[in-house]
Structures are given as C-alpha cells and as structure tokens.
Amino acid sequence: MGVVSPKTHHFSEPLSLVCGKTIEQYDIVYETYGTLNANADNAVLVCHALSADHHAAGYHSNQDKKPGWWDLFIGPGKPIDTNRFFVVSPCNLGHCSGSTGPKSINPASNKAYGPEFPIVTVVDWVNYQARLAGVLGIDQWAAVAGGSLGGMQAMQWAIQFPDNVRHAIVIAAAPKLSAQNIAFNAVARQAIMSDPDFHQGRYYDHDTVPASGLKVARMLGHITYLSDDAMGDKFGRDLKNQQLNYDYGVEFEVESYLRYQGESFVNRFDANTYLLMTKALDYFDPAEKEGGDLSEVFRKVSAKFFLASFTTDWRFSPKRSKEIVKALTDAGRDVSYLEFESNHGHDAFLVQHADYISAFSTYMQNIEVTS
C-alpha cells in the first residue's frame, strides 16, 4: 500500500448508545485504501479487533518498521485487493488511537472523559460506521470483514443493516463469548482496576497510568491469543541466562516475552479503552433479542457469509465458528466455512498462511463490482 495517512471526520449529530446514554459529538479516525468506483459498489469495511485500530495496511512513514495490522490481506493483489476494492478502515468509538474515547477531552467538562465515557457496544459501532458510510457516499458495502471482535462487527452489520451488506467475512470469531472468555476479560479488568494508579479511571488527572495493571491484562490476553504449541515451539522451557537462579526474577524466555509484550502495550494503549473493549466483547450477543436463537436472527439477513477458523485457536475455537455456520445453514443463508491447520492460535487470522490467503482471495474475487 505504501505510505498512507489517516483522516478524521467530526460527527456533530448525537449518537444514542445501547447503554441508554448519548454521545453528543465525536471524532472518528479512519484510513482508506483504493478508489471508490462511480457506482460506489466496491467498498469494503474492515473492522478491527480489541487492540488494533484504523491502521490496517501500509505504512505511516518510510521509517515505520511495521505495516498496518492486516497488511498481509489488504493491498494490490492481496485478498482484499485494492485494485478492485475501496477499503475503509475506521478506529472504533471508545478507542485510544484518535477516535473519541475515554482519554479524549469531554467538551462538557474540558477534562478527559475517563470513566464518564459511556460503554459502547458492537451495535453502537455498527451505527457510527453506518454514518461514516454515509459521509463517504457508500450505501451498500460489497463486504464487511474482520477477525475476532472485527468478525463480530461484520456479523452485526449483516444483522443490523441487512440491505446494506452483500458479504460478511467473519474470521476467528464467535456468536457470543463463553463463560471462560468472559472470565479472562474479568481478570484483565480486575488487574487494571486494582492498580493503585487507576484512580477509579481518573488517572489522567493524576498524571499517571495504571501501567502494571494494564501490563498484566495484556500479558493475560496475549496467552489466550497464542496456542500451547506455538508457545512451546517459540520458547519451550528456554532460560534467559542458561541457569536457574531460584529467585523470582524473569528466568524463562516466555516470561521475558510476555513482559516485553505487556510493557510495549502500555506505551501505546489506554487502560480505560481496554476496559471498554473487553466489555464490548462480553456484551456481544446478537441472538439475545430472539431468545438465544441465532438462526432466527439470520433469517432476516441477506448477506452471504464467508467464515474461517483455525485449528489451534482456543479463544474462539473452530467449534464457535461452527455455531455460526449452523445458525446460517438452519436459516438457509449462503455460507462457506473453512477450517485451517495452523499452530498460531487465535492470532492465526493475522498471520501468513498460504491456504487461508488463497481461499480468502478466491472468495473476494467472486464478489461482483462494476469496474
């Protein structure tokens, strides 16, 4: 994609949220790749997961070491081929990379929102994304795509705006969180909220951040993104300094790796946003309104679905994707489901994998757009 730069749109029309509150005005940062065609029928919305943001492809400068989070999948000749598609990748409301979120200044108080920032859900995200589509002149997405929490947004789009999505690309997702998933999120939140520097979410006013809590939350999360095999292959029981010290320092390579992951996360992520994102995950349950019957929900959907899962993903295992597939086939919807061998666990949806890439590409190539 080369060098890309984000844009910001200020929305001054209030957005009513599922939690009952309203956000009066907000900014959304987004990136676009490719060109919208004259009929505006080649737009693909890419939705990010918990910790990623609008920077999905390309580089922000020539000095950047890493490209956007889905760069392997977005670009000329890649599965979401920017020679054909116009890709829109927004940073979700409540996030900390430029869109309005807990660390943004609340115009009503001139202070950071902090805990005052209302809880936003996947339904709310789809609502602001629909407004962003309007701003960009897009009436109907050729596809909405994402992995994990991003896949949940793709699913929610097909449910919430059945006439405005032709294809939903749902990768490594789940129809709702399991008790175990929620439990992991609960521990992550506890780690943050019990940090003495948390100050009930008002840490900005104290010029500090709950760094150790956020670090632990990220370390925990990271374990759930990797598979036992991947961790075993990468670290095994390797030691940092060749010998055991019989103390509580960092001895095993895996400990060192997790600490590094946790520390680098603290430098780029806001703890209140982490709380909010995990809540958005916990609350996601599109079947709730139909008494838990997801197939009933899908009866009203017109999008065609492409689902994929990965064998060693234990956070959202293939079994969870199959629940979505079953609901779609029961409802008689068009769906293709693929299961890929990978030892990368949940993170596999972000990783190079020849079969995954060629299947994803093949599906996308069959999406009709006017040239």
Partner 1 sequence: MSELRIELQRICEWIEPGSRVLDLGCGDGSLLEWLQKNRNISGYGVDINPENVLSCLKKKVNIIQADLDAGLTDFEDGSFDYVIMTQALQALQFPHQTLAEMVRVGRKSIVTFPNFGLWKHRVYLAMKGRMPVSKALPAQWYDTQNIHLCTVKDFEQFCKQKALHIAKRDIVDYEHRSDALMKLWPNLFGEVALYQINGK
Q: How far is the CB of 276 from partner 1 (least distance, A)?
A: 34
Q: How far is the CB of 322 from partner 1 (least distance, A)?
A: 6
346 an active-site residue? Answer: yes
Q: Identify which of residues 253 and 339 has a Cβ nearer to partner 1 in the complex.
A: 339
The residues with which 112 forms a beta bridge, in sequence order, are 105
Q: Which of 99, 148, 227, 317 is catalytic?
A: 148
Q: How far apart are CA 48 and CA 350, in angstroms?
A: 11
Element spanning 31, H or E: strand 26-33
Q: Identify which of residues 33 and 337 has a Cβ nearer to partner 1 in the complex.
A: 337
Nearest CA to 224 out of 180, 191, 193 is that of 180
Q: Identify which of residues 351 and 357 has a Cβ nearer to partner 1 in the complex.
A: 357
Can you tell me which residue has the tokens 């919208």? 36
Contact 93, 122 (CB under 8 A): no
Q: How far apart are CA 14 and CA 124, in angstroms?
A: 12
Residues at the interface with partner 1 (CB under 8 A): 322, 325-326, 329-330, 332, 334-339, 355, 358-359, 362-363, 366
Element spanning 89, H or E: strand 86-90
Degrees, nearest 5: CA angle 88-94-97: 60
Element spanning 190, H or E: helix 179-193
Nearest CA to 305 out of 156, 91, 177, 178 is that of 156
Q: Identify which of residues 95 and 304 has a Cβ nearer to partner 1 in the complex.
A: 304
Q: Identify which of residues 106 and 361 has a Cβ nearer to partner 1 in the complex.
A: 361
Contact 337, 322 (CB under 8 A): yes
Q: How far is the CB of 267 from partner 1 (least distance, A)?
A: 40
Side chain identity at 338, as an amino acid letter? L
How big is the chain, counted in residues? 371
Q: Identify which of residues 96 and 158 has a Cβ nearer to partner 1 in the complex.
A: 158
Q: Identify which of residues 37 and 311 has a Cβ nearer to partner 1 in the complex.
A: 311
55 an active-site residue? Answer: no
Q: How far is the CB of 81 from partner 1 (least distance, A)?
A: 15
Q: How far is the CB of 180 from partner 1 (least distance, A)?
A: 22
Q: How far is the CB of 365 from partner 1 (least distance, A)?
A: 8
Q: How far apart are CA 212 and CA 54, in angstroms?
A: 26
Contacts 24+ apart (CB under 8 A), 5-9: 5/31, 5/60, 6/30, 6/31, 6/54, 6/55, 6/60, 6/91, 6/98, 7/31, 7/32, 8/98, 9/132, 9/135
Element spanning 8, H or E: strand 7-11
Q: How far is the CB of 287 from partner 1 (least distance, A)?
A: 16
Active site residues per annotation: 148, 313, 346
